[in-house]
Amino acid sequence: MNSYYLGITGPWWLTVLLILIAVTFSIFSYRTTVPPISSARKIVLIALRSVGLSLLLFILFEPILTIIRGTQEPPKLAVLLDNSLSVSQSDALGDRKIIFRKAIENSNFLSFDKDKLKTTLFSSDIYSPEEFTFKEINFNGQMTDIAKALKWVSSIAEKENIQAVLLITDGAFNTGNNPIYDAEFFGKPVFTIGIGDSSEPRDVSLQSIITNENIYINNPVPVNINVKVSGYNEGVLTLKLLDNGVQIAEQKFSVNPDRKSFTAVFEYSPKQEGIRKLTASISSLKNEITTKNNSANEFVNVLKNKRKIAIFAGSINPDFSFVKNSFLSEKGVEIVSFIQKKGSEFYDRQPSEADLKDAEMLVLIGFPITETPPNVMQIIKKELERGKPLLFVASQYLDYNKLKAIEDYLPFTTISSKPQEFLAVPDVKPEYASNPLLRVTGKDSDIDLWNQLPPVFRTETFVKVKPESEIVSGLKVNNAPLKEPLILTRSFGNKKTIAFLCYGLFRWKLLGYASEVSKGRTETPDLFDIIMANSRKWLSTPQDNKQVIIRTTKKLYTNNETVEFIGQIYDAAYTPIENANVQVKVAGGNQERDLTLTSIGNGRYTGKLEGLPESDYFFTGNAEINSRRIGSDKGRFNVGQIALEFQDLRMNSSLLRTISERTGGKFYLTNDATSFLNDLEKLRNFAPKSVTIRNESALWNYPLLLIISILCFAIEWFLRKRAGML
């Protein structure tokens, strides 16, 4: 049913009155004519003038035509099809690709009209073809993010009138949030069809390699390798560790019914500096479901030597002691301490340029204070100008005015500060999880560990985060997040800084780790030592005063994943250059590729490569301006099948059942999916939705009305001219 309304900006009575006056004026104008004309011609001339004047008056009142239409929008079914690698495997039930196709056929959702169906493929990304066919499915997704697919459906549900979801997957998600919460938030029935066998497959898989990202020549470090075995009660496994493809160690394990997981610890003592590729490889057992998860890679950066660290503290305090002891836990680290007394003096000796000359890292803990001599701050500033990294920890009595002397090297600028203190806990967002300071196991669950830390102290200090800085953690007070950072990092040019805008960090060790250990939970990670070690490693990685810095966003890429390069280009004074010509040459996999990076402002450049086959790759980047060479950089990365999709090859039936039960849907095995359409039709909410569409047209803005008015006047003038009228 359609409704039409015509509105104007003034009262209708005034519009009608003016139109009547215009018509009356037209009649009066042609009451007597010279020369006299026929009555018929007089009527035509009166009509033309009346229409022309009436249209002009009508336009002046800005008429708007409103059309209201009511329609019925049919309900839509959103179908989410898992397009990841794990669905392409074979298990005890047979080839999953065949089972997947059978699930589609049995569910018979393709019998729906096109306007009632929204079919989407998902893995780590979302792809929604205009018209789905079986050719669209290639099962090459390197990760499975069910939550992302459900969020996408939720975002379009209102617009598309999606009233139910059919999810066909093995349920083995390995990235993103737990999909149960996103399914509940969606609020519509989610039907699930499980693909694969829910029992443990016969498989040996490497779960992870854990080691230091930055290590030193001839300094042994542990390499932890986690192995999972399922479906076997006996057998012997050989685990090998390779350095750049050369075997350096080997261990053997015996499989028995009581031992399904192993953790091997190798000692790795590098002999050469540079980026080294560590590969863990384990032998296979008979009739494994796949051997693609029997190896894993990790890159480490081997540095020449260790670091001498200079620590400045505004007073003797627990943070100073705990940070110092944490740094000393690494063999060979040398600490030089400068602790200020009351007044301008220091314990032991006053700091001098000679003391800091050999220091390769500076640490400020509650420093400077009000009594700190200006010349000491100038000494520190000179060392920072030379590119030395800085670790900054706040305190209650920190003098932020004196801190302005080195503010150019901090990741923030101070807006205001008061010594009033309060307790705050870390608030680590998912987008911060990839920061190297937060690495514990390398999994997404690391975030939960950091967010459960005891509270630390913070003053009422407000800062502005610099554009080139990165937030590592926000903060919460009484479980309410604040828009202020707790931990920041900055890497700009050849200068690197970490800032803890809090103090009482020792509480993370005493109230966190030590408290858990006292309760017998010895497996609890020591997050204080971990973040200190990660900070030291990150700051110790030298920038070598490079004017050209080119790197990839990751070291390990999956098949079909886009490799992204990021560059930073500076002149000799470390001023960003925005118009440089940056060329990257990539070699590996029996091919060479060239790439030109594009400027995105402030000396930053970016570029992407697609379609690289599995291989190790080396790249060299060169930058020049006006044919003058600025500098170069090089690195390496790997493209291969990361074993995430092969680490858990069971159908997660419990997850799929839970999703369906909590949302009012139903879980099916492939053979049971024939009843899906009947169950869908029984849903009360799977019905057409009444939609009201309102369209408004501004008639006064249409040129047609003005054209008709002018045309009327033109015809009137023409007829008057033909009749010889004045």
Domains and CATH numbers, the chain: 2-70+695-722 (no CATH), 75-199+650-687 (3.40.50.410), 203-304 (2.60.40.10), 308-540 (3.40.50.880), 548-639 (2.60.40.1930)
Token pair for residue 87?
């669905």
Over residues 577-614, the pLDDT tens digits come to 888 999 999 998 788 999 999 998 878 899 999 888 88
- Give the CA dihedral 516, 521, 524, 529, nearest 10 degrees: 50
- pLDDT of res. 668: 94
CA distance 562 to 559: 9
Planar angle of CA 568, 641, 612, nearest 5 degrees: 50
pLDDT at residue 106 greater than cutoff 70: yes
Peptide bond into 35 cis (omega under 30): yes
Residue 471 makes CB contacts below 8 A (sequence gap 6+) with 432, 465, 485, 487, 488
- Find the mean pLDDT for residues 250-275: 84
- pLDDT of res. 285: 87
- Find the mean pLDDT for residues 697-714: 89
**Alpha carbon of residue 586 to chain centroid:** 26
- Find the mean pLDDT for residues 333-340: 91
Over residues 444-468, the pLDDT tens digits come to 778 888 999 999 999 999 999 998 8
pLDDT at residue 726 greater than cutoff 80: no
Higher-pLDDT residue of 374 and 546 is 374
Most confident of 148-157, 351-360, 563-572: 148-157
Over residues 76-86, the pLDDT tens digits come to 899 999 998 88
13 C-beta neighbours (distance < 10 Å), count:
8
pLDDT at residue 249 greater than cutoff 70: yes
Q: 173, 96, 140: which is closest to 669 by C-alpha?
A: 96
Higher-pLDDT residue of 183 and 434 is 183
- Find the mean pLDDT for residues 369-395: 92
Q: How many CA atoms lie within 13 A of 411 on its CB side?
A: 24
- Find the mean pLDDT for residues 138-152: 88
Residue 83 backbone phi and psi in degrees, to 5: -110, 30
pLDDT at residue 173 greater than cutoff 90: no
- pLDDT of res. 562: 84
Peptide bond into 430 cis (omega under 30): no
- pLDDT of res. 543: 55
Are the C-beta atoms of residues 606 and 596 closer than 8 Å to each other? no
pLDDT at residue 544 greater than cutoff 70: no
Higher-pLDDT residue of 142 and 383 is 383
Residue 606 backbone phi and psi in degrees, to 5: -150, 155
Token pair for residue 103?
């699930």
Are the C-beta atoms of residues 118 and 77 closer than 8 Å to each other? yes
Band of residue 216 on the pLDDT scale cut at 50, 70, 90:
confident
Are the C-beta atoms of residues 601 and 637 closer than 8 Å to each other? no
- pLDDT of res. 642: 59
DSSP string, 588-644: ETTEEEEEEEEEEETTEEEEEE--PPSEEEEEEEEEEETTEEEEEEEEEEEES--GG
pLDDT at residue 574 greater than cutoff 70: no
**Alpha carbon of residue 580 to chain centroid:** 28
CA distance 262 to 642: 20
Planar angle of CA 344, 347, 352, nearest 5 degrees: 70
pLDDT at residue 399 greater than cutoff 80: yes
Residue 703 makes CB contacts below 8 A (sequence gap 6+) with none
Over residues 235-247, the pLDDT tens digits come to 888 999 999 889 9
- Mean residue pLDDT across the chain: 87
With tokens 């300071």, the residue in question is 437
Band of residue 669 on the pLDDT scale cut at 50, 70, 90:
very high
Over residues 44-58, the pLDDT tens digits come to 888 988 898 998 988
249 C-beta neighbours (distance < 10 Å), count:
15
Over residues 500-543, the pLDDT tens digits come to 999 999 999 999 888 888 888 888 889 999 999 889 888 876 55
Alpha helices, H only, 398-508: 400-403, 446-451, 506-507
**Which of left, alpha, beta for 164 (phi over 0: left; psi -120 to 50: alpha)?**
beta
Q: 493, 623, 642: which is closest to 565 by C-alpha?
A: 623
pLDDT at residue 475 greater than cutoff 60: yes
CA distance 295 to 241: 10
4 C-beta neighbours (distance < 10 Å), count:
9
Are the C-beta atoms of residues 120 and 150 closer than 8 Å to each other? no
- pLDDT of res. 217: 81
Of the chain, the end-to-end C-alpha distance in Å amounts to 53
**Residue 542 Cα distances to 71, 496, 571, angstroms:** 66, 9, 19
Over residues 202-212, the pLDDT tens digits come to 888 888 788 87
In the chain, pLDDT over 70 holds for what percent of residues? 97
Q: Which helix (H) or strand (E) holds 464?
A: strand 456-465
Q: How many CA atoms lie within 13 A of 534 on its CB side?
A: 19
